[in-house]
A and B are shown apart, each in its own frame.
Chain A
Amino acid sequence: MSPPIFVRTGDARAAAGPAVLATLGLGPCVAILLHDPVAGIGGLAHAMLPDPAAAPAGAPAARFAARAVPLLVHEMTALGAEPGRLVAALVGGAALFEPLVCAGQRTLGARNVQAARAALAEAGIPIRAEAVGGDFGRSVYFQLSDGRIRVTAVGQPDVLLV
């Protein structure tokens, strides 16, 4: 396995196999993983917020789930991926410290996942797998040659999503 390319919070990367994309310590953030299985090209975005409605003009696109999806598609297409072949996976969107967040509010994690699902539906990209919600953080490793996804969490065995 090649050493992973780590995608930082609020950032997005596209690459081709045998590269491995990874992102660490997802809490309420959501990781959006896109894969073209034929070309072996993939992309990963670590989005922090649902959409840029109230954000300042210069805010980076990958910070927002709604804008990260078209950004990834654009970068992957430039590498030779075919938009019609893309499949998606979502990881993250947890709610830590939930007893202290205002009761009755939909958590940021849930809103992030919802925004990612909506953006994928808009782009016509099917969701193949999800590891979202709960009250614990996750890290994710994405093997681009075959699209395999490994999710790690503290005190739990690793999960192979695909």
Chain B
Amino acid sequence: MIDIRALDALELDGLREVANIGAAHAATALSEMTGRRISVTIPVIRIIRLEDVPYMTGDADAAIAAVLMRVHGDAPGRTVQIFPAESAARLAAMLLGREAVEFPDGFGELERSLLNEVGNIVVGACLNALSEFLGMALVMSVPSLAIDKAGAILSAAYLGFDDTGEYVFCIDTQLYIAERSEPLRAHFLLIPETDALGAILRAMHLR
């Protein structure tokens, strides 16, 4: 069993590289989908106390949209894509080619299935790249969308899957979708299970 707080600098670099490759392919897929330029931040590895999970993206009370997917196979875990309220509304409007609707009240079936589809395509591209890079079989589940308070979503993404150690782990990459006004923002969280972290590090010959 890996102690996530004892990962060394080389291992953390390796995990950031994995996230980088995944996020780059995710960004390409999103760029093809939206026709916009996407920029990706350097992945940040977060190792935080269980108590701090609901505040990971800031205000725990803020309404956000999030697409959660499970990853099965050689490195099981979860991915969570988080769209802040304004970005969710504008992304849906951009893809539907119409004016942005109010979030969350104006979000209907169409907007919801659209965000699920974004999740599908982005995570699919990411996992394909990682499967190839790591030489692992990685299979994704169907997406599940929640439009809810950030604290509820983030705590469900960990606690709901029995990820309840003293400290929890994720690799957080932010995507920016270029727009004439403010860019759209999204968080892309990779949450490998603890055993999967070991498998990934071994695949990269770091263990």
Binding site for B on A (CB under 8 A): 8-11, 24-29, 48-49, 56, 59-60, 63, 94-101, 107-109, 136-139, 153-155
Q: Is the pair A108, B159 in contact by a Cβ cutoff of 8 Å? A: yes
Given contacts A9-B51, A10-B50, A28-B156, contact A99 B144 (CB under 8 A): yes
Q: Which of the four size classes fits the interface of chain B?
A: 35 or more
The B interface, classified by DSSP as helix, strand, loop or mixed, is mixed
Shortest beta-carbon contacts, A-B, top 7: A25-B151, A137-B152, A27-B152, A25-B60, A96-B156, A10-B51, A24-B61
Residues of chain B from 136 to 158 with CB closer than 8 A to chain A in the complex: 141-142, 144, 146-157
Question: What are the residues of chain A within 8 A of B162 when measuring CB–CB?
Answer: 108
Alpha-carbon gap, A156 to B166, bound state (A): 34
The A interface, classified by DSSP as helix, strand, loop or mixed, is loop
Residues of chain B from 91 to 106 with CB closer than 8 A to chain A in the complex: 104-105
Task: Write the nearest CB–CB distance from B151 to chain A, whole angstroms.
Answer: 2
Q: Determine the residue in chain A with the shortest Cβ distance to B63.
A: A154
Question: What are the residues of chain A within 8 A of B147 when measuring CB–CB?
Answer: 154-155
B22 in the interface (beta carbon within 8 A) = no
Partner of A49, one of B59, B60, B164: B164
Q: Is the pair B60, A24 in contact by a Cβ cutoff of 8 Å? A: yes
Beyond A8-B51, A25-B152, 20 extra complex contacts between A and B, CB < 8 Å: A10-B50, A25-B60, A26-B149, A27-B148, A27-B152, A28-B156, A48-B155, A48-B164, A60-B51, A95-B156, A97-B68, A97-B144, A100-B70, A100-B144, A108-B160, A137-B152, A137-B153, A154-B148, A154-B149, A155-B147
Alpha-carbon gap, A101 to B146, bound state (A): 14
Question: What are the residues of chain A within 8 A of B155 when measuring CB–CB?
Answer: 9, 25-29, 48
Task: Write the nearest CB–CB distance from A52 to chain B, whole angstroms.
Answer: 11
B161 in the interface (beta carbon within 8 A) = yes
Partner of B157, one of A29, A56, A97, A153: A97
Partner of B68, one of A25, A100, A107: A100
Given contacts A97-B157, A136-B148, A137-B151, contact A63 B105 (CB under 8 A): no
